[in-house]
């Protein structure tokens, strides 16, 4: 699987260029599936917020509204209740999966429970683009500061571990004073694994284990050998 892990979607030309490289063709020729599941898991998630994401009206965080050939809806909490061959065909036929923000642990839980995590592991050419929690769910740990549903889902801050680093999104976002760099430093110190703090103008690309930071803003790497 090819990963484009963003803080706030496709916010600039550099991230858009990286997306096109991963897709290997224009956005207008690609079929997308959007995943709002993480949004429902967040205490502040609303039905209206989920609708804005899936309908392409979440303009501060461009994802669904990029001009895809088609966009389908993949709600992970439904998948265990329908025949597996139906939804796996939808995933296999899609060029990219777009994962909304919200609660990363909630998303990781439902990716495991639905079987999507196992399926994606067998699809090396599939592209996953995450927004905030949609990116953090791929990491080994999200950090206690970002666990929104604890302990109702897993009682931990465990992600899927598809990459070996954690992500602190929305670095220095004006409306989130708790996302200033000193908070990111404390978060990173408590993890025990490498991590990145990234602002909304930054994304992390991961292909075949190779990590590439794409940024027109600012970011910081914590611990170990930089990717």
- How many other β-carbons are positioned within 10 Å of the β-carbon of residue 180? 13
Identify whether 227 is part of a domain. no
Identify whether 103 is part of a domain. yes
Identify whether 134 is part of a domain. yes
Angstrom distance (rounded) from CA 24 to CA 136: 24
**CATH number of the structural domain spanning residue 22:** 3.40.50.880
Identify whether 187 is part of a domain. yes
Tokens of 32: 């997308």
Identify whether 64 is part of a domain. yes
Of 26, 34, 13, the residue nearest 128 (C-alpha)? 34
Q: Would you give per-residue pLDDT tens digits along the chain (227 residues)?
A: 999 999 999 999 999 999 999 999 999 999 999 999 999 988 888 888 899 999 999 888 999 999 999 999 999 999 999 999 999 999 999 999 999 999 999 999 999 999 999 999 999 999 999 999 999 999 999 998 887 766 556 678 999 999 999 999 999 998 888 889 999 999 999 999 999 999 999 999 999 999 999 999 999 999 854 44
Question: Structural domain tally of the chain?
Answer: 1
Specify burial of residue 77 (Cβ count, 10 A radius: 0-12, 13-18, 19+). middle
Identify whether 150 is part of a domain. yes
By residue range, what is the domain housing residue 218?
2-222
């Amino acid at each position: 699987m090819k990963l484009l892990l963003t803080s706030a979607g496709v916010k600039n030309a550099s991230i858009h260029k990286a997306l096109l490289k991963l897709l290997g063709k224009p956005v207008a020729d690609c079929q997308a599936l959007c995943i709002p599941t993480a949004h429902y898991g967040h205490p502040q998630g609303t039905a209206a917020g989920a609708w804005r994401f899936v309908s392409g009206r979440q303009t501060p965080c461009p994802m669904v509204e990029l001009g895809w050939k088609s966009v389908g809806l993949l709600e992970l909490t439904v998948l265990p209740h329908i025949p597996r061959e139906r939804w796996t065909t939808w995933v296999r036929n899609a060029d990219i999966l777009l994962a909304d923000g919200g609660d990363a642990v909630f998303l990781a839980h439902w990716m495991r429970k639905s079987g999507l995590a196992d399926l994606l592991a067998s699809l090396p050419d599939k592209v996953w683009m995450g927004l905030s929690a949609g990116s953090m769910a791929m990491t080994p740990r999200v950090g206690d500061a970002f666990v929104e549903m604890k302990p109702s889902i897993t009682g931990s801050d465990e992600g899927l571990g598809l990459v070996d680093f954690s992500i602190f999104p929305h670095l220095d976002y004006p409306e989130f004073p708790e996302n200033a760099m000193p908070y990111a430093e404390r978060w990173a110190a408590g993890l025990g694994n490498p991590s990145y703090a990234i602002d909304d103008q930054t994304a992390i690309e991961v292909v075949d284990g190779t990590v590439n930071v794409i940024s027109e803003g600012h970011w910081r790497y914590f611990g170990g050998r930089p990717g």
